[in-house]
Structure 1
Amino acid sequence: MSCDTQGVGIQVSDLGWGPDAARFLIRDVSFALKAGDRLAIIGPNGAGKTTLLRCLYRNLMPREGQVHIEGEDIWQMQARRVAQKVGVVLQEMPADFPFNVRDVVMMGRIPWRTGLSGWTAEDRDQVDHALEHLRLADMGKRQFSTLSGGEKQRVLVARALAQQPQIIILDEPTNHLDIRHQLEILDLLGRLKLTIITTLHDINLATDFATHVGLMNAGSLTAFGDPKSVLTEKLLSRTFGVTANHRADDHGRLSGFTFSLAAS
């Protein structure tokens, strides 16, 4: 799959990873994003979405291909430099950090610390900015364990934002959240003006949020492009093994998808 590399913030080229050379969980994955793009990765369970993300934030070293940020291979960069450029919010939410909200967000400044030095004025300013941006300024002293699921998710996004990254990678950020908090977290992410790469289960949320969509199936990126061109009845039906129908509102405008089991 060809990529336009002009002005690329992140470029993924022929990426492949598996537990051994005989078994790949993802293979031949290629795409490119410019600064400020928002990519939603969609696919059935076991398609390789989380494995792909782990390769993008330098958790798994590819067996094939490369990941470049601003033209530099992330495996030729120090891990600390990658952490300064890429913030990560994982699906596995910690149940009980023994810290308050401000302490959790301050952890995002660790990649910028030098030796055993204490927190700087810059660190505190970036944490203040992240707390304010995620609407958490009045919750800084609350214990993380006392927060709701939506509040905890906002804190973890704030921690990633405090890293001052150019890219934020999220694995199912709306998982286990009610509809209101799903919409809220995606609205807040959309306001960050950073390059965002996230996996999402909800097709309709992805339609509204993403500038680009990648469909994954059986370890391959089967389609990549703007939501209108990728999120079609034909491609979604084939990817998920269902019948996808694009519904229309009262004025005949397409407004989302409904799904039913494919006829056997």
Structure 2
Amino acid sequence: MGNANNQAGRSASKQARLDVDGLSWGPRPGQHIIANMSLTVAAGERLAIIGPNGAGKSTLLRCLYRAVRPARGSVRLDGIDLWSISPREVAKRIAVVLQETPADFPFSVRDVVMMGRIPHRKGLSRWSERDHDLTAMALDELELRHLSRRQFSCLSGGEKQRVLIARAVVQEPEIIILDEPTNHLDIRHQLEILALLKGLGPTIVMTLHDINLAADFATKVAIIQSGRIAGHGSPQEALTAQRISAAFDVTACAHRVVDAEPSRFTFSLI
């Protein structure tokens, strides 16, 4: 997907470090959905967040992209508290791809992708030449040019997901945050989306349901259980049969992938 010319056409990918320190949030005082979470995502890393439904994964993401203010603790972007940065600056530096996206956008694919440039516009100025160039390159890189005039609402699930990732790419972010980007996609499209994200360059933070996809994609994994971090580290360190069994209340079995470099395991759940 994409080609070397498109990669060369874009400016070098920006990356940022994300630090979460003692993070807690809940709908009211004393009622926390997530509690005392601490982790670090180094610049350029790919963090996969896994855990059962209701564990607090999406709530953690909302704190990371400043949709909700922490009740306690902090989120820092390259050492600076996220809430001390202007909303416009956060929008330039952090791109978000969510599960719940309106299916009835009355816009073409090109229009939706171009929206990623809104944080960089000044007032009601016209789209710049750079805006058009970045949009064209993203459409090429994600193999969407042939769909550029199609209405977004008419696309398949996999096509819509690629459009939303293209919108994130033209934003030129330092971090891309994604909530279940492979949800409702078949296996081929799941693998295509994750392969695409691996090659983008910015720091990536995403939630995933599939443990084996997380192990293959991520450089770091965080396991969330009952609003707390139950494990954090490289896939080899964090994803143990014991932790997975405890987090998902199942019996997990690890199977070593023969000849995998580095050593890797897949998991089956009983």
Q: 1:165 aligns with which of 153, 170, 173?
A: 173
Aligned residues of 1:8 and 1:32 also touching (Cα < 8 A): no
Q: 2:93 aligns with which of 78, 85, 102?
A: 85
Q: 2:87 is aligned with what amino acid? A: A
Q: 1:117 aligns with which of 114, 125, 135?
A: 125
Aligned residue for 1:222? 230
Partner secondary structure for residue 242 of structure 1: coil
For the structure 1 residues 65 and 97, does the alpha-carbon distance in structure 2 shift closer, same or farther, using more than 3 Å as the test?
same
Alpha-carbon offset, residue 254 of structure 1: 5.5
Alpha-carbon offset, residue 143 of structure 1: 1.3
Aligned residues of 2:16 and 2:175 also touching (Cα < 8 A): no
Aligned residue for 1:193? 201
Structure 2 CA distance for aligned equivalents of residues 109 and 17 of structure 1? 31
Structure 2 CA distance for aligned equivalents of residues 50 and 212 of structure 1? 18
Matched, 1:154 2:173: no
Aligned residue for 1:105? 113
Q: 1:135 is aligned with what amino acid? A: E
Aligned residues of 2:16 and 2:44 also touching (Cα < 8 A): no
Structure 1 CA distance for aligned equivalents of residues 219 and 42 of structure 2? 11
Per-residue CA deviation, residues 82-134 of structure 1 (Å, 9 max, x unaligned), is 00000000011321211111000011111111111010011111212222222
Listed as ranges, the gaps of 5+ residues in structure 2 are: 1-14
CA RMSD in angstroms, aligned pairs only:
1.6
Normalization by structure 1: what TM-score?
Answer: 0.92
Q: 1:104 is aligned with what amino acid? A: V
Aligned residues of 2:16 and 2:174 also touching (Cα < 8 A): no
Aligned residues of 1:246 and 1:256 also touching (Cα < 8 A): yes
Structure 1 CA distance for aligned equivalents of residues 95 and 264 of structure 2? 35
Taking the TM superposition and a 5 Å limit, the aligned residue runs for 1:1-264 are 9-248=17-256, 255-260=265-270
Per-residue CA deviation, residues 34-83 of structure 1 (Å, 9 max, x unaligned), is 21100000001110000000000000000101111111111011100000
Alpha-carbon offset, residue 229 of structure 1: 0.8
Partner secondary structure for residue 58 of structure 1: coil
Partner secondary structure for residue 223 of structure 2: strand
Instruction: List 4+ stretches of structure 1 deviating above 3 A.
Output: 248-255
Listed as ranges, the gaps of 5+ residues in structure 1 are: 1-6
How many residues get paired?
254
Per-residue CA deviation, residues 208-264 of structure 1 (Å, 9 max, x unaligned), is 00000000011101111000011111110111110000124677986411101xxxx
Aligned residue for 2:8? none
Structure 2 CA distance for aligned equivalents of residues 235 and 98 of structure 1? 45
Aligned residue for 2:7? none
Q: 2:219 is aligned with what amino acid? A: T
Structure 2 CA distance for aligned equivalents of residues 73 and 248 of structure 1? 41
Q: Percent identity?
A: 55
Structure 2 CA distance for aligned equivalents of residues 102 and 250 of structure 1? 44
Partner secondary structure for residue 193 of structure 1: coil
Partner secondary structure for residue 48 of structure 2: strand
Partner secondary structure for residue 16 of structure 1: strand
Structure 2 CA distance for aligned equivalents of residues 248 and 65 of structure 1? 38
For the structure 1 residues 82 and 163, does the alpha-carbon distance in structure 2 shift closer, same or farther, using more than 3 Å as the test?
same
